[in-house]
């Protein structure tokens, strides 16, 4: 019991102190082994042995990163920018909803993750300022698209998210089909929709005058990028890229394997010469840099969960916690969501949080009497909580990367705080509702 409590507290403290996420999880895992009564060497062996449980997902995220870089290399994102600029002549709400929609596509239909933001957003800063659009609203729109789709939609990153939840639940004795995850996470996902609408039409509906640009050089560069986008026309490379995306998505849906789907997409890009063989090393390296860190977080988190399981700490904690809360489903859900919020806020990745939470809370949910759907909703919501608002999360770093191109967007106050308020609060509330009704 103490092994879990101390190691999770250590993980949270190290994460909040901005210690690298891999080192934080690794130190927390080894401390859990030592407190659980095994030596440092045995703890490391347990961790390494347990890393294989997330091997498929680690491979999937790396291949998806490579595929995303190749899609960006094809230039189709520039074409998308051109089309978007042509349509962005309506009202403020329409523009923000359009940005949220484009961002949502980056997680499933065109799985480029955050790679589209530096291309799409900087050329639009001049438009935002001219229309006096609050950049905090743009940040919440972008974060919605980077987060909500993987919670609800079982494709691309969403398929990976759902597979990890289903796999980890099965590892601890509770079976649920991947096809049931969208049902389980629909209610929490609706909470994010509510948060988006509140941000766009209530919180940030008023004009925000940014004043004159502090960095005319960057702003001019952004306008030049916009002008270049206007010269982009649909070509053979774009057609092959679309075919590769359709093939990848179709394989994912048919085989339920994100790794195979991403690999097919990568091969199609090579065969179609969209990604030249001479640039293969460069493109693969860029993909590894973008997603390799997340892949290793998956692996180490799975090893951490194995240590907690093998030392018997989980069984003791479940027994004692069940006694304290007295079988209350509401209190159990509240504790699960609070711990999930703290951990994910620290490490900045919902995907890497799932193995840690599942190891502790699936047995507890079984003891209290939660259904598989309610358990999946709790684990999914708890792991997603904190991703929006975490300074270390791609969901906040990506929007800041684009919106701060002219040096006038603050990462914490203009991205992290707005996204935390508008997404973590409704996620928490709707997660509790899902636990009660499912």
Spatial distance between the Cα atoms of 418 and 203, rounded to a whole number of angstroms: 9
pLDDT per residue as tens, the chain (438 positions): 577 778 777 876 776 676 776 787 788 888 888 888 888 888 888 888 888 766 777 787 788 778 877 887 777 766 766 666 566 555 778 888 888 888 888 777 766 667 677 667 877 787 788 888 889 999 999 999 888 888 888 887 888 889 889 988 888 888 998 889 999 999 999 999 999 999 999 999 888 877 665 544 444 444 444 444 455 667 788 888 888 888 887 887 777 777 888 888 888 888 888 877 777 788 888 878 767 776 777 677 778 778 877 877 766 666 666 666 666 788 888 888 887 777 676 555 677 778 777 877 888 888 888 899 999 999 888 888 877 877 667 788 778 878 887 788 887 788 888 998 999 999 999 999 998 888
Spatial distance between the Cα atoms of 375 and 362, rounded to a whole number of angstroms: 7
Q: Is 89 left (phi over 0), alpha (psi -120 to 50) or beta?
A: alpha
CB-based burial label for 6 (10 Å; 0-12, 13-18, 19+) = middle
Rg value, the chain, Cα: 22
DSSP 359-410: HHHHHHHHHHT--HHHHHHHHHHHHHTTTTT-TT-HHHHHHHHHHTTTS---
Q: What are the C-alpha distances in Å from 224 to residues 36, 53, 87, 229, 231? A: 59, 47, 19, 9, 11
Spatial distance between the Cα atoms of 51 and 303, rounded to a whole number of angstroms: 5
pLDDT at 287: 78
pLDDT at 141: 93
pLDDT at 131: 82
pLDDT at 348: 59
8 Å CB contact between 153 and 107: yes
Long-range contacts of 323-329 (CB under 8 A, 24+ apart): 325/368, 327/367, 327/368, 327/369, 328/368, 329/368, 329/369, 329/370, 329/435, 329/436
Q: Give the residue from 140, 156, 151 showing the smallest Cα distance to 291.
A: 156
pLDDT at 216: 41
Q: Give the residue from 426, 347, 425 showing the smallest Cα distance to 387.
A: 347
pLDDT at 197: 94
pLDDT at 433: 92
Classify the C-alpha dihedral 387-388-390-393 as positive or negative: positive
pLDDT at 72: 74
DSSP 310-370: HTTHHHHHHHHHHHHHTT-HHHHHHHHHHHHHHHHHHH--HHHHHHHHHHHHHHHHHHHT-
Q: Mind listing the pLDDT tens digit for each residue in 141-183? A: 999 988 888 888 888 788 888 988 998 888 888 899 888 999 9
pLDDT at 137: 92
8 Å CB contact between 132 and 95: no
Q: What does the H/E/C string look like for 138-181?
A: HHHHHHHHHHHHHHHCCCCHHHHHHHHHHHHHHHCCCCCCHHHH
Spatial distance between the Cα atoms of 103 and 120, rounded to a whole number of angstroms: 10
Burial 184-207 (b: 16+ CB within 10 A, else e): bbebbbbbbebbbebbbeebbeee
Domain ranges of the chain: 55-437
Centroid of chain to Cα 95? 23
Spatial distance between the Cα atoms of 165 and 201, rounded to a whole number of angstroms: 33
pLDDT at 387: 77
Q: Cβ contacts of residue 186 below 8 Å, gap of 6+?
A: 152
Q: Is 215 left (phi over 0), alpha (psi -120 to 50) or beta?
A: beta
Q: Give the residue from 184, 106, 190 showing the smallest Cα distance to 143.
A: 106
């Amino acid at each position: 019991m103490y092994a879990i409590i101390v190691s999770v507290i250590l993980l949270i403290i190290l994460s909040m102190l901005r210690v690298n996420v891999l080192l934080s999880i690794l130190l927390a895992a080894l401390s859990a082994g030592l407190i659980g009564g095994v030596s440092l060497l045995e703890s490391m062996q347990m961790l390494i042995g347990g890393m294989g449980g997330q091997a498929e997902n680690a491979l999937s995220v790396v291949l998806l990163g490579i595929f995303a870089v190749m899609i960006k290399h094809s230039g189709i994102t520039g074409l998308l920018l051109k089309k978007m600029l042509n349509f962005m002549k309506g009202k403020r709400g329409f523009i923000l909803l359009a940005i949220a929609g484009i961002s949502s596509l980056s997680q499933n239909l065109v799985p480029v993750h955050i790679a589209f933001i530096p291309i799409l957003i900087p050329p639009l800063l001049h438009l935002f300022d001219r229309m006096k659009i609050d950049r905090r609203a743009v940040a919440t729109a972008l974060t919605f698209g980077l987060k909500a789709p993987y919670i609800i939609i079982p494709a691309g990153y969403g398929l990976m998210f759902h597979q990890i939840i289903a796999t980890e639940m099965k590892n601890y004795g509770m079976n649920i089909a991947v096809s049931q995850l969208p049902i389980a996470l629909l209610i929490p996902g609706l909470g994010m929709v509510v948060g988006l609408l509140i941000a766009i039409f209530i919180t940030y509906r008023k004009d925000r005058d940014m004043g004159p640009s502090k960095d005319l050089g960057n702003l001019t560069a952004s306008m030049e990028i916009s002008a270049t986008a206007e010269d982009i026309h649909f070509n053979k490379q774009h057609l092959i890229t679309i075919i590769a995306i359709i093939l990848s998505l179709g394989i994912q849906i048919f085989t339920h394997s994100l790794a195979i789907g991403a690999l097919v997409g990568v091969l199609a890009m090579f065969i179609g010469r969209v990604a030249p063989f001479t640039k293969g090393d460069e493109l693969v390296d860029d993909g590894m840099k973008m997603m390799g860190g997340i892949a290793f977080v998956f692996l180490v988190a799975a090893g951490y969960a194995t240590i907690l399981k093998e030392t018997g700490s989980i069984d003791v904690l479940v027994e004692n916690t069940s006694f304290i809360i007295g079988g209350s489903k509401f209190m159990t859900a509240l504790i699960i969501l609070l711990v999930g919020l703290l951990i994910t806020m620290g490490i900045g990745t919902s995907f890497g949080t799932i193995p840690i939470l599942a190891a502790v809370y699936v047995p507890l949910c079984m003891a209290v009497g939660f259904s598989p759907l309610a358990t999946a909703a709790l684990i999914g919501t708890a792991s997603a909580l904190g991703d929006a608002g975490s300074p270390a999360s791609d969901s906040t770093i990506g929007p800041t990367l684009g919106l701060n191109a002219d040096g006038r967007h603050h990462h914490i106050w203009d991205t992290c705080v707005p996204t935390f308020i508008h997404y973590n609060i409704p996620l928490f509330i709707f997660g509790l509702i899902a636990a009660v009704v499912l």
